[in-house]
Structure 1
Amino acid sequence: MKKIIDTLYRFTHVLELIMGLFVLAAILMEGIAVIQEFGIFWTGRMEHGAFMEFLELVLNLVVGVEFLKMLLRPSTDTILEVLMFVIARHMVVKTTTSFEDLLSVLSVAVLLLIRKYAGGPLFAAKKDKDPVREEKSE
């Protein structure tokens, strides 16, 4: 039974890597779109909202990069970074009410408290039982 569980775990690790490759491909395509969008932004930079449209595209790319980091190396820090960028993107790009801004600021404060007091790796307990990591360390 342990051998079956280890095999399934390895399989899920491979699936995570495949999904990471798809996310990387999407990030690269989005990066090309950012370059093209910069040209559009530059020519129409005086139009109302042009910068916000460009900023939304860039922040989407940043969230994608952070998500890929989280997918490949899950830890407390990478998860909190993704959440902070998502909150920052929401605050900067979307038109929000004062109450939504307050909730966003409180959310960032809670995330910073979690980061301060969570300290160690989020998945430290599983690290010892990870057959993929054990195989690499041997």
Structure 2
Amino acid sequence: MTEDRWPFIHHIGVFVSDYDASLRFYSAALEPLGVIAAGEAEGGVEFWEKDRDTPSIGIAPVQGDDPVTRGVHIGFTAADRAAVDAFYEAALAAGGVSRHAPRLWPDYRAYCAFVSDPDGNNIEALHKETT
């Protein structure tokens, strides 16, 4: 990405049923990818890369009759295969459920791992392979 181009996605919001469980999950799972809990606002938290606040993902507890975010698939970029492996292990240790253990997906030329967050969303870490 060149510095004069805006990111394709600015931010994503996920509304969760159990804020504490989701905070533990996302904090642990995203840390190996260099994504940190960086800003609290309006009862939730935003996660972004250190020194770069866009793109970001926010989690917040559901308010009133609003629905919990479910059925979402979010893929996060990993610097290398080791970061994908670390994401997977950290996500499981923080209450995530395995969907697919880390492996190469040749059709996508990517090394990926998939886990379910506390609300069942499909959260992925992937490292695009160059060959």
Question: Could you state the TM-score of these two structures normalised by the residue count of structure 1?
Answer: 0.26
Higher strand share: 2
Q: Which has the larger radius of gyration?
A: 1
Higher helix share: 1
Question: Could you state the TM-score of these two structures normalised by the residue count of structure 2?
Answer: 0.27
